[in-house]
Structure formats: structure tokens, C-alpha cells
Structure 1
């Protein structure tokens, strides 16, 4: 178990409508300095399926942090994680101890975010315990939908299942994918 600091900031702008929160970046993501960078994580393939415009070959997430950030912002999706720092073994959410939360109040207040989507059970649990009370106290509570993890560790969930679950959550949040 090692103590880990998040290491990079949120992706958002004033036009963001949905905030996607993971638990803590994986070692691969921390190394790359961006979200969902493990090559087997299915987050970006899900986002591409939901949002990419098939008529525009440039409207893809790409492989770099810059192209993925631009894609997320173009589709009004903000990204961050519940945890600012914690003790963790590798990328194992079940090993997380001593979690300290990120402060998402400034993001919610400075954007059009109407829904938070958490990726994975641990992110949902930690959101409810560590972030929701602060949002309520600040007068800016936002409904949360807990989604399944896109991590390769969630092998029981296939890509088409993830796409359908995420599609419904984004639609419910009002961030309708252009090309369903």
C-alpha cells in the first residue's frame, strides 16, 4: 500500500453539463497525467460511441490527453475524481484507505452541471460519504447516478452493456448524445 496524491486537476469549463467522477486515477493514468489512460479501460470507447459524430472524422477522443480533453469539453463532459489523496495498492479500489476528497463545489457553481455520474461502486460510495454532504452544505446538491466501472477489472460487463447503461445515464442527465 502506498500513499498517492491525485496529481492532476479536473477537466471542465462553464459549458460542462455532466461531471464524471472516478475514484482515483490508476497508475497508468497518473503516469500519463490524464483520465482513463489504461489502454484496456473502456471509458473512451464508450464516450466515442455515445458522442462522436460519424460525419466528422476529427470528432474522436484520440489517444493523447490533449485530444481526449478537447473531446470531453466539446461534448460538455467534465472529468475528475472523488479522491484527492489516499492509501491504495496499485489500482485496486477495494484497497483504498484514508481517502481525502476533492472539492467539486467550485466546478458545480462555475458550470451548468446538473448531474454527477460516478464510475464504479467505490466512486459512488465515496461520493455519497465524502462529497455529497459538502455539496448540500454549500447549497449546490447535484443528483448522482452510479455507473459500472469501465475498468478491465470489471470483466463481467461487456462494452455493449456499458454503452447502453452510460447512454441512459447521459440521456437522463440531459447531455444527449448527438448520434444514438
Structure 2
């Protein structure tokens, strides 16, 4: 493992949502590979874009590391809109080493006011314990007037090896229950 120093990361990927979104899925902060690709969960070994489509009986054509990056991103956005899913991250900025959520400090949360004001979202799902803890620390009370529920889903990161693909799909099925 490389000895990396922490760096201050500012979230530059725009949230995916529209006025029909009914569910919001939140990560913590995009990984270096995702920031490089300009979209969420784009590390080649991250299982998010295999798990979520499986929940809805679909498979995406373009892999996370596909040379046609724009087509891969467009395909993912189309999928999210089709299923009324919004996608973003809890944090706007933080200090982090690589993609290790355990190294996060000096956090600033994103502002979700517009998303909750302009969509019928009532259910929030956090992909991993860190995102869930940060949501509860910074956001749960602030946005309680929107009548939201928030659940923690297991991380789809390759670091979460104890959750195999089948177990992840079973856990993520909670998203489709409307």
C-alpha cells in the first residue's frame, strides 16, 4: 500500500436528480477514480453499478472503466432517471487519504435544500456506515421538516469484501420498495 498523505478534496460532481426523484442514494465522497471519471462509483472494482441495475432486473452495457466514459456516464444517468433515483454524496469537502472513509476529517456537508424542496424524495439511503454517520451528524436534524427516512446500506466498495454480490443485491432491494 502506498504511503499517501491526506489531501483536501472539494466535491465537483453535480448531483443527479430531477423533480420526479423519489429516492436519494448518498455516498460519502467520490473516490479518486470517480473524481477522475467525473461521476459517482466509477472505480473499476466498485460494485455499485452492477448491484443497483440488478435490483431492477437490468444490466448496464458500459463498464466503469469503459473507454467510452461519456457513454458510461450517460447510461448511468438515464438509469437513475428511469427509476426516479437521485444520487449524490453527503460531503461537499473534506480532508481524506485516497478513498479511505476512515481517514476523513475536517468535513463540510452538502446542502440538500433544493433537492428536497423540488422533488418528492422521502427516502434516503447511505452507502456505508461513514455516509450514514455523517448524514446523522450533519443532515438528519436539519432536514427533518421534509419527513425523510434514512437507512444504511452496505458499501459496494471492494474494501467491503465480506459482502458478496448476492448479499449486496439483497440489501439494495430495499430501494425498489416504494
TM-score, normalized by the shorter chain, greater than 0.5: yes
Structure 2 unmatched ranges of 5 or more: 1-5, 64-71
Q: How many residues align?
A: 165
- TM-score if structure 1 supplies the norm length? 0.87
Query: CA offset at residue 159 of structure 1?
Result: 0.5
Partners of 2:31 and 2:89 lie apart in 1 by 11
**2:149 is equivalent to residue 149 of structure 1:** no
Are the equivalent residues in 1 in contact too, given 2:26–2:125 (CA < 8 A)? Answer: yes
Q: Which residue does 2:37 correspond to in 1?
A: 32
- Pairing partner for 1:140 from 134, 143, 146: 146
Segments ≥4 residues shifted beyond 4 Å = none
- Pairing partner for 1:114 from 116, 122, 125: 122
Q: Which residue does 2:60 correspond to in 1?
A: 60
Q: Which residue does 2:48 correspond to in 1?
A: 43
Say which SS state the counterpart of residue 45 (structure 1) adopts.
Answer: helix
**2:170 is equivalent to residue 164 of structure 1:** yes
Q: Which residue does 1:4 correspond to in 2?
A: 9
Query: CA offset at residue 61 of structure 1?
Result: 6.2
Identify if the C-alpha distance between structure 1 residues 22 and 86 changes in structure 2 by more than 3 Å, giving closer, same or farther.
same
Query: CA offset at residue 166 of structure 1?
Result: 0.7
Structure 1 unmatched ranges of 5 or more: 54-58, 175-180
Q: Which residue does 1:178 correspond to in 2?
A: none
Identify if the C-alpha distance between structure 1 residues 61 and 13 changes in structure 2 by more than 3 Å, giving closer, same or farther.
farther
Are the equivalent residues in 1 in contact too, given 2:21–2:85 (CA < 8 A)? Answer: yes
Query: CA offset at residue 129 of structure 1?
Result: 0.3
Partners of 1:117 and 1:105 lie apart in 2 by 17
**2:103 is equivalent to residue 77 of structure 1:** no
Query: CA offset at residue 133 of structure 1?
Result: 2.0
The answer to which structure has the higher strand fraction is: 2
Query: CA offset at residue 127 of structure 1?
Result: 0.2
Partners of 2:41 and 2:176 lie apart in 1 by 22
